[in-house]
Amino acid sequence: MLADGDEMRIIAGGQTLVPLMAMRLARPKRLIDIARIPDLAFVRKEDGSVTIGATTRQCVVEYDPVVRAELPLLAKVLPFVGHAPIRSRGTIGGSLANADPAAEIVLVAVTLGATLIYQDGTRRVEVPASDFFLGPMLTAMPATGCLVAARFPIWREARVGVGFQEVNARASDFAFASAAAQIALDETGICRRAALGIGAITPCPLRLDGIAEALIGTRPDQAGVRAAVESALADIEPLSDLHASAGYRRRAAAALAARAVIEAYAAAKAAEDAHAR
């Protein structure tokens, strides 16, 4: 049906598309509702990863025991995704396919290096998050494609901690800047693995691999991370609008990234050997 074109849109939870339709910013001629396709709503633990079906509702993922145990960063950000009535209809795949620069789920997918899986006719395509998100509301998925799942890697280290920070005008509104971090420590408290991403300041969330790599072998300190993010953002022209200027977003992102790293570090230090196996 999608291949027939003619201004068709896929709808799942409708928590972004319907407001756009209400404001007449989107005027699809036909909607294809995928919300009740049973095979698209699941959380499945596989070898080294957790795959989440596109129409799995955010409120379901938020409380899913597998997600809480294996994808603590995703569990951490979900309460920040809209308000509860939005999450009770909104889906994981809907947020990913919408690719809002400020979306928390997109930030986690980029930070952890998730894989996005879409179906295009009979073709099933897997794209790493770093290649999937191209810009605001823009993905590598063609208009004839339908996102079916996202696969998030599990970190097997024994001591993993996560941090998430954002600033917005009001709880659960769109973030002006956000940062997510996941850190694994060895038994002596030295960082062995790190991932850091910032959201809402660039056209799609930005993974700061250089800074994350520099954390390895160290005990992260807030001032150091902040300075590193500030210098990493020096050449970037952040998004800017009435609510948050480019300069503000750059400063906020650096401060939030530093806080997220320290939050993740503290959580990892406190972590029991929950994953010991």
CB 110 within 8 A of CB 204: yes
- The whole-angstrom separation of Cα 232 and Cα 24 is 39
Determine the interface stretch with other proteins among 141-149, 169-177, 235-243, 260-268 (rule: CB under 8 A). Answer: 169-177
Candidates 19, 48, 189, 247: give the one binding other proteins (CB under 8 A): 19
- Residue 165 or 182 having the CB closest to other proteins: 165
CA angle, residues 130, 134, 136, in degrees to nearest 5: 125
89 closest CA partner among 139, 138, 33: 33
CB of 14 to other proteins, least distance (A): 6
* Number of residues forming the site for other proteins (CB under 8 A): 20
* Cross-strand pairs, 2: none
CB 89 within 8 A of CB 13: yes
CB of 103 to other proteins, least distance (A): 15
Q: Give me 59's structure tokens.
A: 């409120």
CA distances to 26, 132, 171 from 8, in Å = 11, 21, 33
Site membership for other proteins, residue 59 (CB under 8 A): yes
Phi-psi group of 7: left, alpha or beta (phi > 0 → left; psi -120 to 50 → alpha; rest → beta): left
* 74-113: contacts with other proteins (CB under 8 A): 83-86, 88-89
- Residue 79 or 203 having the CB closest to other proteins: 79
- The whole-angstrom separation of Cα 107 and Cα 206 is 8
- The whole-angstrom separation of Cα 84 and Cα 172 is 9
CB of 248 to other proteins, least distance (A): 23
CB of 255 to other proteins, least distance (A): 24
CB of 170 to other proteins, least distance (A): 7
Site membership for other proteins, residue 35 (CB under 8 A): yes
CB 215 within 8 A of CB 225: yes
Site membership for other proteins, residue 169 (CB under 8 A): no
Site membership for other proteins, residue 172 (CB under 8 A): yes
Site membership for other proteins, residue 24 (CB under 8 A): no
- Residue 170 or 277 having the CB closest to other proteins: 170
Binding site for other proteins (CB under 8 A): 11, 14-15, 18-19, 22-23, 31, 33, 35, 59, 83-86, 88-89, 170-172
